[in-house]
Amino acid sequence: MAQLVSSASTSLDGFIALPNDDPGPLFDWYSAGDVVITNAGDLPPFHLTPTSAAHWRAWVASLGCLLVGRRQFDLTDGWRGRHPLGVPIVVVTHEPPRGWSYPGSEDFTFAGTLEEAVAAATAIAGERVVGVAAGEVATQVHAAGLLDEVRIDLVPVLLGHGRRYFTHRHTPLSLADPISVVVSERVTHMSFPARR
């Protein structure tokens, strides 16, 4: 069965974007090296260090589907029908978009509840990983006891304010010891199993 793994570039103080949703310096590591990584969508290629490129390729190769919220879908205009990672997308939303159509939009599934979205994403992914977007969706998946792993691309910057990786947490979230720590230029890639 598919594992549900949340992943995000994160500041040292736990933010995944500035208040205006701009990632700012959190994405600097995507241009910190000489290894060209092409994207499936219309984003320009990344230029990663060899260490980050190996980490990135392994992550992308493991993915079978992405689970995102309506906010991220709207902010990106649904990546114009083709996510840069080139995998199917399941969007949690009470109201699917009307009139939204791009080539590749058939790879998008809209689900009205988290339970329906997780079921659809795991069915699509099969034995591969469901990448869970950070923020509200990651928080809901964890609260439902379904999150298997938290991955952080930790960027050496303090944003001070913005959008948090996990939202609405009033109790501590305890993760197991890291199963992977990869140090690279402008980023440290870490993976933590989620405790249930």
pLDDT of residue 169: 64
pLDDT of residue 42: 77
Output the pTM of the full model: 0.94
Cβ contacts of 41 within 8 Å, gap of 6 or more: 79, 80, 82, 83, 84, 86
Q: Where are the domains of the chain?
A: 4-193
Q: What was the pLDDT predicted at 170? A: 63
> Regarding the domain delimited by 4-193, which CATH topology (the fold level of the hierarchy) does it fall under?
Dihydrofolate Reductase, subunit A (3.40.430)
> Consecutive sets of 10 residues in the chain, 196 residues long: mean pLDDT of each?
95 96 96 96 91 97 97 92 93 90 87 97 98 94 93 97 85 86 97 90
pLDDT per residue over 65-105, tens digit each?
999 999 999 999 999 888 999 999 999 999 988 888 888 78
Q: 3-state secondary structure string, 118-172? A: HHHHHHHHCCCEEEECCEHHHHHHHHCCCCCEEEEEEECCCCCCCEECECCCCCC
Tokens of 23: 């990632």
Mention every residue, 6+ apart, whose C-beta is less than 8 A from residue 159.
11, 13, 15, 18, 24, 26
Q: Which alpha helices (DSSP H) does 13-129 contain, by range? A: 50-62, 70-75, 114-125
- Residue 98 is predicted with a pLDDT of 87
